[in-house]
Structure 1
């Protein structure tokens, strides 16, 4: 059926835009955890508002052309995509001008910029949900079926954008390609959507079965599932990044697995309803499996790189590992929203349910990233999400099943606690800590919204800075010159300073352990600025003697910012700009 193909392609384009938007925003305004959080808030918030507004606008309509309206929304998204590059170039210029006079306004500029650039397409994407609901009624199909196809398309879009379109075409050409998909979908919907659909409150009330949950309880369910799903995404992403030692690949694989599970869940909703499966029992099992699978996710780094001779086989292995572990709990979590959408026959209620779910997703990701991860770590964050879902499921489950489900939940929690691997206390997630780099003890560790950073000591005596599972640098007391594995890092400071006839002002991007910055300082510039994205890197500098306390020198000034954004924003003219690079095998 044409409507099914259209929503599939639309979902593919939508998640491709999510990848492009995040990349464009980080390039234009700088990569940072708070920047990612603001981007998420604008896009998910826009989708929430779009669903609520469209649902409200359609609530009293007796005659509509849903497919034509869907085409208009898709067409607007495509046009916005074609203008995306221009919009971000303008935002860059405004950001640079304002930062030079009022740097404290940077967060406000960031929020205003992404709201202007992404607000309209995000609103349109959210507004498609109530329209899809009307289209499902017009074509006598299930809204959960169309929602599932849209989500399955999104899973494909996440993988295509990350592994095919951007690597082969670049960001700009990839944006044009995705925009073309939206415009083609929109044009096809406009051509096919000429037939009017007549609705009335009377027909809705007589044809619709009574919802299984009252609206307040339904809102509680979509809030809990949206909150928990995104909290788990944040915590799982932190673990997978360290296990796979790749931020982009880990994000794309995890996102695709989550969306695939959500899409399959929506497709299975009619079957589950037909077999009279209780929603509460399914949610309880989602929480139980989340608790049970967390110890496995903690140990992904132990098997991530075993027996993988080619990159293709490696990525395939990572995908199936991830889907095998998180697929079942996310599948069960993903049943709730399409289940409840199917029970409603009013666009306003569709918009409310979807909008509430999107708002809870924002809260879940922000709470996990900014509060729970720094305070208790990713494993306990996953436990709390699992317990929240299990508790909600028990509340909704039939009384005769609660004792069994509660017992299973307690057992799963005991298993999770007993099998906790000690990440951050006795071990660090990294497949690189083997051989003469085998971990002896953790000197300091930090788990936050942007990275997991640890300083560890190996049994051989090497002291290492580990960022998201990757050994960024190391030192061994007593080694000098070329015997130091990272001897090239000081030369990244000495060489450019020696080549300049009179270097007075120097800039080092990325502090690392401070070896490059210290080398620059030893060449005696008048001032040395150091820029790093993560403040915790500076706080761990005292553990590495090779930097000779460079941060304590009065000529040194440190800044917490994305290096690319800093170079664009600053008015300072530097004689030398260098950086402390990651190892060549990064």
Structure 2
């Protein structure tokens, strides 16, 4: 098959790769919700459990996105690598379900109760969660090598990211409102493992139908990118700060909106689903813009500027609008009405900012892209910078800013 024929063949199957990422994202969020409950049972503290889960989840994904391009050469078929990663996630998911409770029982008998015992069990539980989260972070750089670092290829990277987020929304709602409500952690884990296995099998079959050969961008596509500025640390700094502000805002807004909706897993699931929905919409829009714009850095900068106004909008809505809506949830005829109202309030407050945060990622990838780059290494660095900023934002806002200057000034 000629090089041009290979590109055309790949393009025909790229929408199927987006579907694979939807399944992957759904499984990942099912695991996250299940592991939160699992850690609560093992550690006995929701605050420590959430801290261990978020720190390990995001830290492992950051490490995986950086490590895969260095550990796996470009010669390997990206879809086969992706299939192996998904299969590894499923195996690790089963092992976590078996190992973490056993570890908790062993350390309780050896160390006992109290703060030292909790912290030691938290450390061992975090180590147990690192392998699957590492593989989750490696999935996007793995499949990114299937496309080229051209405007069209970069836009598809953004669509992969958007599909992953769309699946994450479905997984969050499926786990929080059905699997764990009707069944249990074992059933929910088996559902996520089944998704991983199906995605891995589909990826392996797709790899058999589509040839792959690492190559530089074609001349006609490279001409579209030759005038773009060379990649610099400025792009990674911007997307890192964007991740910092996104997770800081999520922590603060969850704290504020929980005062109106109630501090429960139900509220957390709704707010997380709305946040992820906005990120998915923004990522799809940003991907389309990245394909057409000759100046992605300017678009990225404009996106951050608009975010200032969007964050101010949310602050105003939460403080001056939502508390005065003419509704009384206590007079509702059933939980479905309350669910609709809470969902509407969350979308009204959070959607503009989350769309802009979602658009920032594909625009940052486009701004850092150049002809002939390794797509896996490119998207791994952008993803790692964004995730590292998100980790610092979650820790900094929850443990430093809010206790120090309060929620209003932190916002």
Cα gap change, 1:271 to 1:192, in 2 (>3 Å): closer
Is 1:111–2:123 an aligned residue pair? yes
Counterparts of 2:101 and 2:52 in 1: how far apart (Å)? Answer: 19
Scaled by the length of structure 1, the TM-score of the pair is 0.61
Unpaired runs of 5+ residues, structure 2, are 1-14
1:272 Cα deviation from its structure 2 partner:
2.7
1:359 Cα deviation from its structure 2 partner:
1.4
> The residue matched to 2:118 in structure 1 has which SS?
helix
Is 1:54–2:68 an aligned residue pair? yes
Contact kept, 8 Å, 2:48 with 2:122, in 1: the verdict is no
Unpaired runs of 5+ residues, structure 1, are 383-586
> The residue matched to 1:198 in structure 2 has which SS?
coil
Counterparts of 2:230 and 2:270 in 1: how far apart (Å)? Answer: 34
Task: Please name the residue that 2:87 is paired with.
Answer: 75
Higher percent of residues as helix: 2
Is 1:198–2:213 an aligned residue pair? yes
Task: Please name the residue that 1:99 is paired with.
Answer: 111
Is 1:20–2:34 an aligned residue pair? yes
Contact kept, 8 Å, 2:148 with 2:217, in 1: the verdict is no
Cα gap change, 1:213 to 1:248, in 2 (>3 Å): farther
Task: Please name the residue that 2:382 is paired with.
Answer: 353
Contact kept, 8 Å, 1:265 with 1:332, in 2: the verdict is yes
Counterparts of 1:267 and 1:101 in 2: how far apart (Å)? Answer: 48
Counterparts of 2:183 and 2:176 in 1: how far apart (Å)? Answer: 11
Task: Please name the residue that 2:11 is paired with.
Answer: none
- Pairing 1:96-175 to 2, within 5 Å after superposition: 96-100=108-112, 104=116, 106-116=118-128, 118-137=129-148, 142-175=156-189
Structure index of larger Rg: 1
> The residue matched to 2:184 in structure 1 has which SS?
helix
Indicate the larger mover: 138-147 or 104-113: 138-147
1:184 Cα deviation from its structure 2 partner:
1.1
> The residue matched to 2:225 in structure 1 has which SS?
coil
Counterparts of 2:399 and 2:25 in 1: how far apart (Å)? Answer: 29
Scaled by the length of structure 2, the TM-score of the pair is 0.85
Task: Please name the residue that 1:446 is paired with.
Answer: none
Task: Please name the residue that 2:256 is paired with.
Answer: 239
Contact kept, 8 Å, 1:221 with 1:336, in 2: the verdict is no
Contact kept, 8 Å, 1:95 with 1:106, in 2: the verdict is no
1:317 Cα deviation from its structure 2 partner:
1.7
> The residue matched to 1:376 in structure 2 has which SS?
helix
Cα gap change, 1:89 to 1:359, in 2 (>3 Å): same
1:38 Cα deviation from its structure 2 partner:
2.4
Counterparts of 1:322 and 1:101 in 2: how far apart (Å)? Answer: 39
Counterparts of 2:339 and 2:217 in 1: how far apart (Å)? Answer: 53
1:228 Cα deviation from its structure 2 partner:
0.5
1:34 Cα deviation from its structure 2 partner:
3.4
1:213 Cα deviation from its structure 2 partner:
6.8
Counterparts of 1:351 and 1:252 in 2: how far apart (Å)? Answer: 28
Counterparts of 1:45 and 1:302 in 2: how far apart (Å)? Answer: 40
Task: Please name the residue that 1:65 is paired with.
Answer: 77
Contact kept, 8 Å, 2:287 with 2:359, in 1: the verdict is no
Of 338, 352, 362, which residue of structure 2 is paired with 1:328?
352
Task: Please name the residue that 2:304 is paired with.
Answer: 283
Cα gap change, 1:172 to 1:302, in 2 (>3 Å): farther
1:103 Cα deviation from its structure 2 partner:
5.6
Counterparts of 1:356 and 1:266 in 2: how far apart (Å)? Answer: 17
Of 35, 50, 62, which residue of structure 2 is paired with 1:36?
50
Counterparts of 1:151 and 1:46 in 2: how far apart (Å)? Answer: 18
Counterparts of 1:208 and 1:46 in 2: how far apart (Å)? Answer: 35
1:208 Cα deviation from its structure 2 partner:
7.1
Is 1:182–2:196 an aligned residue pair? yes
Of 233, 241, 246, which residue of structure 2 is paired with 1:229?
246
1:187-218, Cα deviation, whole Å (9 max, x unpaired): 11112212442114576994772555732111
Counterparts of 2:335 and 2:231 in 1: how far apart (Å)? Answer: 50
Contact kept, 8 Å, 1:142 with 1:342, in 2: the verdict is no
> The residue matched to 2:198 in structure 1 has which SS?
helix
> How many aligned positions are there?
379
Is 1:252–2:274 an aligned residue pair? no
Higher percent of residues as strand: 1
Counterparts of 1:106 and 1:208 in 2: how far apart (Å)? Answer: 55
Counterparts of 1:155 and 1:202 in 2: how far apart (Å)? Answer: 34
> The residue matched to 2:112 in structure 1 has which SS?
helix
Counterparts of 2:88 and 2:306 in 1: how far apart (Å)? Answer: 40
Task: Please name the residue that 2:96 is paired with.
Answer: 84
Cα gap change, 1:133 to 1:207, in 2 (>3 Å): farther
